[in-house]
Chains A and B, each alone.
Chain A
Amino acid sequence: MPRNIDREEVQRLLLRGAQLVDVLPSDEYQEAHLPGAINIPLKTFDAQSAQQLDGGRPVITYCHDFQ
């Protein structure tokens, strides 16, 4: 079950090699995103796009806010 986390936990997980995934549309990602985040827009989420991610490391998804 995905776990909700705050910014402090994000920072801790990044130190452990977590991968950040910005799920917003690509134009919004291009404008501004967290350092090191990759962009997988929600609409394109499937087995193929998820291959960019390493299943052995934590993955953190985010968008604008609590949406």
Chain B
Amino acid sequence: MSNRAAWRLESLGFTQVYRYTAGKRDWFAFGFAMEGELSHTPKAIDGMRRDVPTCRLQDRIGDVYRRCQEAGWKVCIVVNEANIVLGRVRRDAWQADPETPVEQVMENGPTTFRPDNFLEPLIKRMQEKKVGSVILTNSDGVLLGLLVRKDGEARLQQDQTPMRHKER
């Protein structure tokens, strides 16, 4: 559609015509700004924590566990040097021998979501599947943060608060 529009513009005499091929789906999936009616609907990014700990494939699980404990986290995201999500270290992995490389105990290829996913259906899905948190990445798989279910629930609750209460 945008290609035909671009060619039509050229036929009308425009000389600097470009086509953003990946379109708005790509833009919003990167967590970039949105205008329009849906811009006020809570999205996954609205409940996202950016301070989730990360580790590398070759890190030792004992070291990772210590870092996560100190930071108050029970989960760690495994990323490469480009911050691409490769795996997730779940609670049960902490029981492994402290010398074990993360790669051997991590969950491979965890499901990820985009920052522009609507929060309400996502939280509902997490509740149904009893999932405590989900990873958010952009469409290139780069880690953005973690959506913790209780944060998302609180965000939705806040959104349902009558305006007069919000103003106090």
User: Which residue numbers of A lie inside 8 Å of B, CB to CB?
Assistant: 1-7, 9-10, 13, 18, 21-24, 29-37, 40, 42, 45-47, 50, 53, 55, 57-67
Interfacial chain A residues near B160, Cβ < 8 Å: none
- The residue among B8, B14, B20, B25 with the most chain A CB atoms within 10 A of its own CB is B20
Cβ B39 vs Cβ A32 within 8 A: yes
Main secondary structure of the interface of A (DSSP, over half): loop
Of the A-B pairs whose beta carbons lie under 8 Å apart in the complex, a sample of 23, sorted by A's number, is A1-B10, A4-B19, A5-B19, A6-B21, A6-B22, A7-B32, A9-B18, A29-B36, A32-B36, A32-B37, A32-B38, A33-B24, A35-B33, A42-B8, A55-B14, A57-B16, A59-B9, A59-B14, A60-B18, A61-B2, A62-B27, A64-B25, A65-B23
> How many whole Å from A11's CB to the nearest CB in chain B?
9
Cβ B27 vs Cβ A42 within 8 A: no
Is B15 an interface residue when CB atoms closer than 8 A count as contact? yes
User: What 1/0 mask marks residues of chain B from 28 to 46 whose CB sits below 8 Å from any chain A CB?
Assistant: 1010111111110000000
Complex Cα distance A18/B17, Å? 10
